[in-house]
Amino acid sequence: MVLCSTLDGRPLALAHQYKRPNGQLGGSGKPDPKKSFVEGGD
């Protein structure tokens, strides 16, 4: 899981990202958003 936040530490979004044992990103290489903490997000 990856937590994206503002520079002052406020959370913006939570996303899942698959990392292979060798450290490379799997799948599309892009995070899959799971939760938005921005007002109006879902």
Q: Are strands 11-16 and 32-36 parallel, antiparallel or unpaired?
A: antiparallel
Kindly list the domain boundaries of the chain, sorted by start residue. 2-36
Residue 10, phi-psi category: left (phi > 0), alpha (psi -120 to 50), beta (remainder): beta
CA of 38: how far to CAs of 2, 15, 20, 21, in Å?
16, 14, 30, 32
pLDDT in tens, the chain (42 residues): 999 999 999 999 999 999 999 989 988 888 899 999 987 655
Q: Which amino acid is at 22?
A: N
pTM over 0.95: no
Sign, CA dihedral 10-12-14-15, equals negative
